[in-house]
Chain A
């Protein structure tokens, strides 16, 4: 047990002397996994065994179950022809397969035990804060390494470790043949450690450490196959774009500390109580915090990194860029709900950004051909929904959608990973270099991969919002809450740019409905093109298409079950199929007060209106699916290399509204130009190097040259100078 600095305060808590005191072990187990896998990775890199020569070389060139037509095609594909390719399996892959997922399963079991202990402890109103050591005692600032266990962090911990464990197990099948296998698991374990630090941290700086740490791991895993420049560039893009958001987070922290003299969540909660509602200060803090969330959770205008992040291995996309890390922004707003609930203008901004992102990303998703890009834009769009939820002060519904989205989007990503795996394997057998991620090269996969096919349809229905799957309940609650807040709440009575909040919220509601329609369309499109119609993979390759091994389909099945029944954790009142509002009740000690403050005593929405809204949402979802089902003809599609160029608005959508190009022209090029022309050539090479470093050297050399001219080598001259000096000194003394 680690020494407790302030055990005294925790002693009175109902969780004292329960398994909850072992909460520090939950993040520490993945850290242990990181250390072990990292050592294995380095050990093999420095001492390649005699059995697998050139392994250190393979480590850096990538390969195995890679996404695109990859380096391994070029290196051994030609040499071995249509034969089975020699497995470049890492020599410690067996140990890694046990340690990597093992630590996550243990971590999940421990958090499940803590969850049961929390449920058994009855009503817990105060957070269970464990302080381990004093981290930054500087003047007024006392920041402890403290973990805060409450209902919110418990929920997030369960999602992170639970979904994380499933994705780790899937990764064993997906990544085992990759030469960098232990390195992969080392990064993945490290990611989970930082993510748990993020959700369990008891103060803003500790959350920030987790926040930066997951960003680092995201960078490392996006660029996992860094030998291809595009992958390395995607990693850098994610890292750099996130810096903008992190700047906002930092400024918000500075402002909080400058005004409240504390950064602990409990302290900020007390400090927020004395702040004026809707004041400039709290609005500024919230907007800067939201800037951090915009970066991490890929909202307009900083969403551009997330679609590029698909360059990483698909399980990474599932874990980091769909289920956990990108939802950190939603968590942060829920965690800071004591601030957001008294800043209605900031809440309007959050809702608007969320709604705009939802519809914008969904429209791009309509025309993407890369299966992972469709899911990436879908993720951006769904994150927008979560921000609508937490932005409209319905914190629980935002988090509810976070949980269900973690289930169905992880399922969709892992399912797409399973599809890519099958296609890649088929292409590998025949030495084909076609794109294993392009939907134009898929089609008709339902006969080859029935398990994946059915599970992905469940997830598609869930994300489209078809009852009774998880996404229906959560998305519907978000839209319902938004509508209710637009009618009466502190947000509705606030003003942004002179327009009342209720107008903004109705506008966001409209955008949300259209985005829901688009979601149904693009998801159905993806399913049709991937699994239905004729197969377009290729004559030779068709024979090699097969379902992924059980180690991969197993986690899919579990996620499929969660996707189907996940909505039960927070059933709405109009559908009492079990305990109503369980999640809301669970989170009430943390989020009840801020939610009530935003609602401002509004009554319930009338049941008739509620049924109407639900019926409208379902109708839209069904309409979207029906439209896609009847209008899209997979029979007319041709494989990628024969496909014609798109024209008109389709081309704009395929090119993602040219946002990357606009950013490139408007921001990247000027910054690079100024850096190169002014900062590098002007300031650095000109001023600092030219005037500063070389200039002072030239000056010293010039003065030295003058001195050297006095040294003629003539002894007589020296003697004259000496005597003149003596006379001068004597003269100076005599004058006095």
Chain B
């Protein structure tokens, strides 16, 4: 049971990583970040079921922080769109040396 859960979570995390690396749309990148967070949550839950309930507490924390992060992140993306008329990350490159 644990092995399957971990395998599924690893697949989910990898999809998230590749999404972040490959996609150019900020919203999709953002969703992929959420995907990675949820993959981590899944691992926590799986381990909690196998070794004790402490991991589930962390899951609640992660979900709270993820919710806050989603609110802030989406707000930033909206502000960015209003300013630049785009959410394509290739066009958003002001922070450079």
Chain A interface residues toward B at CB < 8 A: 707-716, 719-720, 723
Please, which residues of chain A bring their CB within 8 A of the CB of B22? 716
B76 at the interface (CB under 8 A from A): no
Q: For B20, give its contact among A707, A712, A714, A719 (CB under 8 Å).
A: A719
Prevailing SS type, chain A contact patch? helix
* Cα-based distance from A709 to B96 in the complex (angstroms): 8
Chain B residue total in the interface (Cβ 8 A): 14
A712 to B93, CA, bound (A): 7
Query: Which residues of chain A are within 8 angstroms of B70 by Cβ–Cβ distance?
Result: none
> B17 within 8 Å of A by Cβ?
yes
Taking a contact as CB atoms under 8 Å apart, the answer to whether A711 and B90 are in contact is: no
Question: By the criterion CB–CB under 8 Å, are B97 and A708 in contact?
Answer: yes
Q: Does B24 contact A (CB under 8 A)?
A: yes
Cβ of A715 and Cβ of B17 under 8 Å apart? Answer: no
The 15 sampled A-B contact pairs (Cβ below 8 Å) are A707-B97, A708-B96, A708-B97, A711-B96, A711-B97, A712-B93, A713-B93, A713-B94, A714-B89, A714-B90, A715-B29, A715-B89, A715-B92, A716-B21, A719-B20
B residues less than 8 Å from A715 (CB atoms): 29, 89, 92-93
Which 9 A/B pairs are nearest by Cβ-Cβ distance? A708-B97, A713-B93, A713-B96, A711-B97, A715-B89, A711-B96, A713-B95, A719-B20, A719-B21
Closest to B22 in A: A716
B93–A709 CB distance below 8 A: no
User: How far is the CB of B12 from the nearest CB of chain A, in Å?
Assistant: 16
- CB neighbours (8 Å) of B96 from chain A are 708, 711-713
CA distance A1 to B47 in the complex (A): 89
Pairwise interchain contact B97-A709, C-beta atoms closer than 8 A: yes
* CB-nearest residue of chain A to B20: A719
Residues from chain B with Cβ under 8 Å of A714 in the complex: 89-90, 93
CB distance from B33 to the nearest CB of A (A): 10
Q: Which residues of B contact A713 (CB under 8 A)?
A: 92-96
Contact with A along B57-97 (1 / 0, CB 8 A): 00000000000000000000000000000000110111111
B4 CB, min distance to chain A CBs, angstroms: 22
Kindly list 6 other residue pairs between chains A and B, CB separation below 8 angstroms, not including A707-B97, A708-B97.
A713-B93, A714-B89, A716-B22, A716-B90, A720-B21, A723-B17
Q: Report B-chain residues with C-beta under 8 Å of the C-beta of A711.
A: 95-97
Q: Would you give the shortest CB distance from B93 to chain A, in whole angstroms?
A: 3
A707 surroundings in chain B (CB, below 8 A): 97
Q: Which residues of A contact B17 (CB under 8 A)?
A: 723
Q: CA A715 – CA B93 in complex, angstroms?
A: 8
Minimum CB distance partner of A715 in chain B? B89
Residues of A within 8 A of B24 (CB): 716
**Chain B nearest Cβ from A90, distance in angstroms:** 66
B residues 12-56 touching A (CB-CB < 8 Å): 17, 20-22, 24, 29
The smallest beta-carbon distance between B94 and chain A, in angstroms, is 6
Chain A residues, CB < 8 A from B94: 713
Chain A residues contacting B90 (CB-CB under 8 Å) are: 714, 716
A708 CB to closest chain B CB (Å) equals 3
Residues of B within 8 A of A723 (CB): 17, 21
Closest to B90 in A: A714
Minimum distance in angstroms from A269 CB to a CB of chain B: 76
A711 to B93, CA, bound (A): 10
Are B89's CB and A716's CB within 8 A?
yes
Please give, as numbers and ranges, the residues of chain A lying within 8 Å of B21 by CB-CB distance: 716, 719-720, 723
Q: Is the CB of B97 within 8 A of A710?
A: yes
A723 to B16, CA, bound (A): 12
| Distance in Å: Cβ of A700 to nearest Cβ of chain B | 15
Instruction: Give the CA-CA distance A293 to B17 in the complex, in Å.
Output: 87
CB of A608 to closest CB in B, whole Å: 103
Considering the complex, give the chain B residue whose CB is closest to the CB of A709.
B97
A711 CA to B97 CA, complexed, in Å: 5
Q: Could you say which residues of chain B place their CB within 8 Å of the CB of A708?
A: 96-97
| A286 nearest CB across to chain B (Å) | 70
A132 to B72, alpha carbons, bound, how many Å?
79
Q: Which residues of A contact B95 (CB under 8 A)?
A: 711, 713
A715 vs B92: C-alpha distance in the bound complex, in angstroms? Answer: 8
Considering the chains assembled together, what is the distance between the CA atoms of A707 and B96 in angstroms? Answer: 11
| Chain A residues with CB under 8 A of B93 | 712-715
CA distance A714 to B17 in the complex (A): 16
Taken together as a complex, chains A and B put the C-alpha atoms of A716 and B22 apart, in Å, by 7
Closest residue to B93 on the A side, CB-wise?
A713
- Complex CA distance for A422 and B57, rounded to whole angstroms: 107
A716 CB → nearest B CB, Å: 6
Give A712 to B95 CA distance when docked, in angstroms.
8
